[in-house]
Amino acid sequence: MANVARKLSAPRRGVGNAFWSFMKSPGFARMLFPVAVILFWLGAMNVIISIWPFMAEVLPTPLEVWGAMWDELIDPFVDGIQAATRANVYATFGRSLIRLGAGFAIAMVLGTIIGLAMGLSKSVDAFFHDWVMAILAMPALAWALFLSLAFGFGHTGPILTVILTGIPFVIVNIREGVRNTPRELFDMARSYQVPQQRITRHVLVPSLMPFMFAAVRYAFSIGWKGLVIAEVFGGQDGAGWTIKFWYDAHRAHAVVGYAFFFILFAIVLEKIVFDPIQRRVFKWRPQITNLQLVEKMFDEPRLALDMATVADASAQPDGEGDRIDG
């Protein structure tokens, strides 16, 4: 309310006021952030170099970093000749994305099957529960190192890492989805003798959709984080391998530049791919309290998990038969 009042009263009086209201807008603050980061970067560099003068050779300036990024971006268009050992950023990210896609698809299929079974049957749930939790809590680094030891360099290690890091999120979300299907609707459909196919199409699938989406989102982004680590240790090319390549070559500016590609990639994925889909998926169902919670915590599927465990804990002592949440 206060904000609305301020907005109504503050502007529309001369250029000066318009300028100030622009300066005060959150959008301007958001644009200011990158500027502040660069200023901080330069300031911190000065401080560090004044303490340890030899650091001048290590610390990259923003311009050097931009140069490294520009080389990666423009490389193929300048002379068409590539250094034999490495590909440009499009090729490396492309290769990584293919691996990610393969692992992700397998994780989705297996995870959906296991998740459905766990949601539908308590016995299956008891069978898998502890192991899903354990795999979920295992750091991607452990998989990456172990699988690169076991399978050597190549595709197997990274793809298996994607599967193993992604699959628990699929399982947990699908299981929650099944548990949250509105049972009244099933009962009603059955009492009106709606055929099973139409029940599946019009009741089960729509109620599963938001959870399915959450599964896709988490599995994809967690799988990506796992994949780049796996490529560092067990890959021969790809995005993760390349940033390690620059690291081993002691090119700090290239490492930072490549890190910016990772950041840009993550932001594009979030803002341009997942957010619009999310808006679509959730349009018809504006209030799913549980899931909204999950959604806000991007990269914190643990919340979904915690809710699942809380639900388990509340279901266990009194052991009620079918848990139906409103």
Partner 1 sequence: MATTVEQERPEAASTEEALLRQRLRRERINKLVFRFLGYVFFLGIWEFASGRILEEALIPGPTRVAQTIGDIWGRGDVPDAFRATLLRIFVGFTISFLIGAIIGIISQNRWLEGFFKDAVLVSLTAPGLIWALITAIVFGNREIGPIIAIVLTTFALVTVNVSEGIRALPKDLVDMGKAFDVGLLRRNRHIVIPHLAPYLFTGLRFGFSIAWKVTVLTEVFSSSRGIGFEMRLATQLFQTDEFLAWVLMFFFFALFLEKVVLQAFERRFFRWRQEVAAA
Q: Please report whether residue 56 would count as binding partner 1 according to CB under 8 A.
A: no
Q: Please report whether residue 110 would count as binding partner 1 according to CB under 8 A.
A: no
Compute the least distance from the CB of residue 162 to partner 1, in Å.
13
Stretch 148-177 residues interacting with partner 1 (CB under 8 A): 148-150
Q: Please report whether residue 14 would count as binding partner 1 according to CB under 8 A.
A: no
Nearer to partner 1, 14 or 26 (CB): 26
What is the token pair recorded at 22?
Answer: 């622009």
DSSP 265-321: HHHHIIIIIIHHHHHHHHHT----HHHHHHHHSTT-THHHHHHHHHHHHHHHHH--S
Amino acid identity at 34:
P
Q: Please report whether residue 126 would count as binding partner 1 according to CB under 8 A.
A: yes
CB 265 within 8 A of CB 92: no
Q: Please report whether residue 32 would count as binding partner 1 according to CB under 8 A.
A: yes
Stretch that binds partner 1, among 14-22, 69-77, 171-179, 291-299 (CB under 8 A): 291-299
DSSP state of 53: G
Instruction: Say which residues have a Cβ less than 8 Å from residue 312's Cβ, sequence separation at least 6.
Output: 129
Stretch 127-146 residues interacting with partner 1 (CB under 8 A): 127-131, 137-142, 145-146
Stretch that binds partner 1, among 75-83, 90-98, 204-212, 218-226 (CB under 8 A): 218-226
Q: Please report whether residue 224 would count as binding partner 1 according to CB under 8 A.
A: yes
Nearer to partner 1, 59 or 91 (CB): 59
Compute the least distance from the CB of residue 199 to partner 1, in Å.
27
- Distances from the Cα of 138 to the Cα of 152, 277, 300, angstroms: 21, 29, 14
Percentages of the chain per state (helix, strand, coil), in multiples of 5? 80, 0, 20
CB 223 within 8 A of CB 167: no
Nearer to partner 1, 170 or 254 (CB): 254
Compute the least distance from the CB of residue 147 to partner 1, in Å.
10
Of 172, 277, 273, 175, nearest in space to 221 by CA: 273
Q: How many residues does the chain have?
A: 326
Q: Using the rule CB under 8 A, which residue among 10, 29, 39, 273 binds partner 1?
A: 29
Q: Please report whether residue 250 would count as binding partner 1 according to CB under 8 A.
A: yes
Distance CA 309, CA 24 (A): 44
Stretch that binds partner 1, among 158-166, 172-180, 193-201, 298-306 (CB under 8 A): 298-306
Of 208, 226, 9, 239, nearest in space to 111 by CA: 208
Distance CA 155, CA 107 (A): 16
Contacts to partner 1 by CB under 8 A = 3, 24-30, 32-34, 36, 58-59, 122-124, 126-131, 137-142, 145-146, 148-150, 221, 224-225, 228-229, 232-233, 240, 243-244, 247, 250, 252, 255-256, 258-259, 262-263, 266-267, 269-270, 296-300, 302-303, 319
